């Protein structure tokens, strides 16, 4: 984790003429073409997701796809699933930084900066960016000399002081870090950072003097988001919530790249204003700047809770309005679809088979899994022909999910079909086949999964098989 991206250290017709009608028709055709192109792109991304399930790039590509179309809800759940359930933390962090932050701590990036620094040895940006690479690798022995040099050559640039202090705190040298920061505040009291540091210190001894000091700083630096954020927090403490809200919103506008500012503005609306609708965009801003964003809780949990609460209220309102469950399966909110699936599972009717089966190809992974579980628990032998077709479906995600139903229903009679999936190149198909055999196939299914161990080449799947062999975990 980069020091600078850690939220604890920084601070979504009238007919006028035939010609006009033809023009509008052409626009409509063009729009349909764009929609078709977008769907084709999504299908390709989903296919790559299945083929390279354990690689980070397909997950990031899907996230970028949804973000580019303003669908931050699906982007969030795709990213969180990859982060929490598929990719190792170090792998996730690096690919996220490269994909969304433009930060690259590779050897090639290091060598490029070393070359640039040799040409411009006094460049503060080159110095700090190189130090940041070493900090991201926890290579403080290399970072420290660069930061010390940068601090000496650019003493007014707070980044070098903050970097050195951050390393000292990581090393448990809190008092030394505090002395370093206090020294900067004494030397540069009228810098924007100086005002912030002085306000933080004053808050401990004379809190009534903090607001005038921050206002003085903002008069000098009216576009400084950190100063505005400190003023907002001070106004909140004194109970002036309307002014605090205005200052928080302005701070977020002034500091669009600050994880801490957006996380805490989200918290203001979530905890103080009790306004989930207004909190959510700020929490999402913070999350997509850093998935590790934290206020007093990690923002990922806040986002999940808000989405779930919104969906529950919306779902219940639609149920009270007598909207049929089957219609809720096409709701644009995947959380509502998941709630409808849960109720459908408890009130099963044969007429639900086709619409629920279609959801095995839904964009949302939670909906796909929910649909699979509902079918698994409710279908009978009349579903077998459709199940055999699903096991051959062009959508690799559907094929993998069909494995769970097949092994659950057919037990040992499905094992030959699982062997076919285990011979596929798509990583997701092999994962689903192994998982289905282990979860649904009983002892014989587990043994069939372990029999694949010698043929499996992917390290993640070999690791999974070893865990199954040792009885430590299930997929």
Report residue 337 as tokens.
């679809």
DSSP conformation class of 4: G
Report the pLDDT averaged over residues 104-119: 96
Q: How far apart are CA 182 and CA 194, in angstroms?
A: 9
Q: What is residue 20's predicted lDDT score, i.e. its pLDDT?
A: 37
Q: How far apart are CA 141 and CA 123, in angstroms?
A: 20
pLDDT band at 471 (very low <50, low <70, confident <90, very high): confident
More confident residue, 201 or 19: 201
Q: How far apart are CA 96 and CA 259, in angstroms?
A: 15
Which residue bears the tokens 């285990």?
422
Q: What is residue 39's predicted lDDT score, i.e. its pLDDT?
A: 77
Q: What is residue 33's predicted lDDT score, i.e. its pLDDT?
A: 58
Q: What is residue 473's predicted lDDT score, i.e. its pLDDT?
A: 55
DSSP conformation class of 269: I
Burial label for 184, CB within 10 Å (0-12, 13-18, 19+), is: buried
| Angle at alpha carbon of residue 162, lines to 161 and 168, rounded to 5° | 90
Phi-psi domain of 70 (left: phi exceeds 0; alpha: psi -120 through 50; beta: other)? left
Judged against a pLDDT cut of 80, whether residue 25 lies above it is answered with no
Closest CA to 155 of 186, 178, 133: 186
Beta pairing partners, 298: 294
Mean pLDDT of the chain: 92
Report the pLDDT averaged over residues 44-65: 98
Phi, psi angle pair for 320, to nearest 5°: -65, -30
Judged against a pLDDT cut of 60, whether residue 11 lies above it is answered with no
Closest CA to 11 of 127, 166, 143, 137: 166
pLDDT band at 36 (very low <50, low <70, confident <90, very high): low
E strands along 222-319, which residues? none
Provide the Cα torsion 224, 229, 234, 240; round to 10°: 110
Q: What is residue 262's predicted lDDT score, i.e. its pLDDT?
A: 98
Q: How far apart are CA 399 and CA 416, in angstroms?
A: 15
Q: What is residue 32's predicted lDDT score, i.e. its pLDDT?
A: 56
DSSP conformation class of 331: -
* Contact present, 109 and 2 (Cβ < 8 Å): no
Closest CA to 167 of 202, 127, 137: 137
* Length in residues, the chain: 475
Q: What is residue 15's predicted lDDT score, i.e. its pLDDT?
A: 30
Task: Give the chain's domains with CATH numbers.
Answer: 326-470 (1.25.10.10)
The DSSP secondary structure of 139-178, one letter per residue, reads -HHHHHHHHHHHHHH-TT-HHHHHHHHHHHHHTT-HHHHH
Range name among 93-102, 274-283, 298-307 with the lowest pLDDT average: 93-102
Question: Per residue in 425-456, pLDDT tens?
Answer: 999 999 999 999 999 999 999 999 999 999 99
Which residue bears the tokens 């990583």?
427
Residue partners of 412: CB distance under 8 A and separation at least 6? 441, 444, 445
DSSP conformation class of 55: S
Beta pairing partners, 294: 298
Beta pairing partners, 443: none
Q: How far apart are CA 90 and CA 140, in angstroms?
A: 18
Range name among 33-37, 204-208, 387-391 with the lowest pLDDT average: 33-37
pTM of the shown model: 0.89
Report the pLDDT averaged over residues 178-206: 97
Question: Per residue in 128-146, pLDDT tens?
Answer: 999 999 999 999 999 999 9
Residue partners of 351: CB distance under 8 A and separation at least 6? 326
Closest CA to 143 of 151, 379, 234: 151
Report the pLDDT averaged over residues 361-365: 97
Q: What is residue 12's predicted lDDT score, i.e. its pLDDT?
A: 28
Percent share of the chain, pLDDT over 90: 90
Judged against a pLDDT cut of 60, whether residue 8 lies above it is answered with no
Question: Per residue in 313-337, pLDDT tens?
Answer: 999 999 999 999 999 999 999 999 9
pLDDT band at 269 (very low <50, low <70, confident <90, very high): very high
* Contact present, 163 and 128 (Cβ < 8 Å): yes
* Contact present, 261 and 225 (Cβ < 8 Å): yes
Q: How far apart are CA 438 and CA 460, in angstroms?
A: 16
More confident residue, 7 or 98: 98
- CB count within 10 Å of CB 125 equals 15
Range name among 39-43, 185-189, 300-304 with the lowest pLDDT average: 39-43
Phi, psi angle pair for 298, to nearest 5°: -70, 135
């Amino acid at each position: 984790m980069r020091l600078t991206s850690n939220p604890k250290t920084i601070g979504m017709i009238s007919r006028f003429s035939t010609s006009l009608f033809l023009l509008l028709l052409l626009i409509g055709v063009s729009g349909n073409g764009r929609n078709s192109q977008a769907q084709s792109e999504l299908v390709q991304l989903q296919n790559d997701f299945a083929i390279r399930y354990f690689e980070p790039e397909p997950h990031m590509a899907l996230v970028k796809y949804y973000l580019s179309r303003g669908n931050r809800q699906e982007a969030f759940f795709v990213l969180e699933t990859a982060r929490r359930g598929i990719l190792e933390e170090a792998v996730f962090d690096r690919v996220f930084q490269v994909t969304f932050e433009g930060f690259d701590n590779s050897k090639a990036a290091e060598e490029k900066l070393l070359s640039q620094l040799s040409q411009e040895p006094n460049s503060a940006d080159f110095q700090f960016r190189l130090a940041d690479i070493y900090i991201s690798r926890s290579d403080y022995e290399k970072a420290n000399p660069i930061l010390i040099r940068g601090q000496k050559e650019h003493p007014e640039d707070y980044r070098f002081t903050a970097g050195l202090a951050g390393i000292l705190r990581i090393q448990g040298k809190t008092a030394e870090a505090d002395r370093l920061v206090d020294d900067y505040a004494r030397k540069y009291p009228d810098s924007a950072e100086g005002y912030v540091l002085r306000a933080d210190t004053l808050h401990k001894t004379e809190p009534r003097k903090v607001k005038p000091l921050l206002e003085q700083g903002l008069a000098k630096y009216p576009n400084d988001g950190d100063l505005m954020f400190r003023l907002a927090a001070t106004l909140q403490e004194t109970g002036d919530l309307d002014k605090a809200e205005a200052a928080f919103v302005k701070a977020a506008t002034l500091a669009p790249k600050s994880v801490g500012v957006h996380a805490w503005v989200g918290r203001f609306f979530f905890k103080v204003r009790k306004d989930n609708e207004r909190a959510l965009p700020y929490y999402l801003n913070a999350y997509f700047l850093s998935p590790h964003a934290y206020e007093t809780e990690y923002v990922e949990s806040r986002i999940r809770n808000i989405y779930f609460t919104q969906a529950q209220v919306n779902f219940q309102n639609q149920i009270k309005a007598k909207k049929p469950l089957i219609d809720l399966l096409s709701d644009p909110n995947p959380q509502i679809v998941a709630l409808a699936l849960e109720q459908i599972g408890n009130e099963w009717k044969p007429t639900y088979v086709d619409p629920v089966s279609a959801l095995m190809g839904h964009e949302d992974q939670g909906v796909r899994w929910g649909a699979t579980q509902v079918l698994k628990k409710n279908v009978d032998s009349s579903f077998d022909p459709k199940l055999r077709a699903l096991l051959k479906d062009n959508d690799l995600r559907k094929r993998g999910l069909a494995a769970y139903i097949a092994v659950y229903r057919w037990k040992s009679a499905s094992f030959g079909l699982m062997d076919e999936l285990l011979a596929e190149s798509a990583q997701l198909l092999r994962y689903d086949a192994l998982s289905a055999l282990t979860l649904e196939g009983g002892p014989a299914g587990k043994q069939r999964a372990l029999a694949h161990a010698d043929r499996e080449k992917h390290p993640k799947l070999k690791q999974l098989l070893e865990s199954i062999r040792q009885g430590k975990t299930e997929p």
